[in-house]
Structure 1
Amino acid sequence: MTPLPPFPAPELNRLTDRQTARIRLYCVPPSGTGSEFFLPWVAAFSELFDLVAVDLPGRGTRTGEPSITDIGWAATGIAEAVAADLRHRPPADGFYAVFGHSFGALLAFEATHRLRSASRTEPDLLALSAVPPPGRDGLDDHIARNLGAGIAAITEIMGWEAPADDALARTVYTPFLADAVALLHHTRREWPPLRARLSVFGGLDDPMVDPGTLHEWGACTTADARVHHFPGGHHYLRTQVAEVVGQLTDDLLTAYRSPAAG
Structure 2
Amino acid sequence: MSKVMESAASADGGERTALVCVPFAGAGPSFFHPWRALSAGRWRVVPVELPGRERRILETPYRNAVEAARNCVDALVADLDEGERVVLFGHSLGAVLAYEFAHLLGARGVHVERLVVSGSPGPRTQRERRATGLPEEEFLARVEEFAGFRHEALDHPEMRELILPVLRADCEMHENYVPSTDEPLSVPVCSLRGGSDGLVGAEQAQEWRKATTGGFSYRELPGDHMYLVDSGREVLELIEAERKGADA
If the length of structure 1 is used for normalisation, what is the TM-score? Answer: 0.80
Question: What fraction of aligned residue pairs are identical, expressed as a percent?
Answer: 27
Shift of 1:28: 0.4
Q: Give the direction of change, closer, same or farther, for the CA distance of 1:246–1:50 in structure 2 (3 Å limit).
A: same
Shift of 1:144: 4.9
Confirm or deny: 8 A CA contact 1:215 1:227 kept in the other structure. yes
Structure 2 residue 88 is the aligned partner of structure 1 residue 98: yes
Q: Give the direction of change, closer, same or farther, for the CA distance of 1:57–1:147 in structure 2 (3 Å limit).
A: same
Confirm or deny: 8 A CA contact 2:186 2:213 kept in the other structure. yes
Q: Give the direction of change, closer, same or farther, for the CA distance of 1:215–1:186 in structure 2 (3 Å limit).
A: closer
The counterpart of 2:122, out of the listed 117, 123, 133, is: 133
Confirm or deny: 8 A CA contact 1:34 1:61 kept in the other structure. no
Q: Deviations over 1:179-232 (max 9, x none)?
A: 122234433455312121111101122222112332221222222111111222
1:11-50 to 2 correspondences below 5 Å: 18-21=7-10, 22-50=16-44
The counterpart of 2:184, out of the listed 189, 193, 198, is: 193
| CA distance in 2 between partners of 1:131 and 1:123 (Å) | 20
1:1-262 to 2 correspondences below 5 Å: 18-21=7-10, 22-86=16-80, 89-91=81-83, 94-117=84-107, 119-136=108-125, 138-139=126-127, 141-144=128-131, 147=134, 149-158=138-147, 159-162=149-152, 163-255=154-246, 257=247
RMSD: 2.4
Shift of 1:154: 2.0
Aligned length: 235
Shift of 1:110: 1.3
In the alignment, residue 66 of structure 1 is paired with which amino acid? T
| CA distance in 2 between partners of 1:34 and 1:237 (Å) | 15
Structure 1 residue ranges without an equivalent (≥5): 1-13
If the length of structure 2 is used for normalisation, what is the TM-score? Answer: 0.84
Q: Give the direction of change, closer, same or farther, for the CA distance of 1:213–1:69 in structure 2 (3 Å limit).
A: closer
| CA distance in 1 between partners of 2:104 and 2:85 (Å) | 18
Q: Give the direction of change, closer, same or farther, for the CA distance of 1:199–1:146 in structure 2 (3 Å limit).
A: farther
| CA distance in 2 between partners of 1:145 and 1:80 (Å) | 29
Confirm or deny: 8 A CA contact 2:131 2:142 kept in the other structure. no
Structure 2 residue ranges without an equivalent (≥5): 11-15
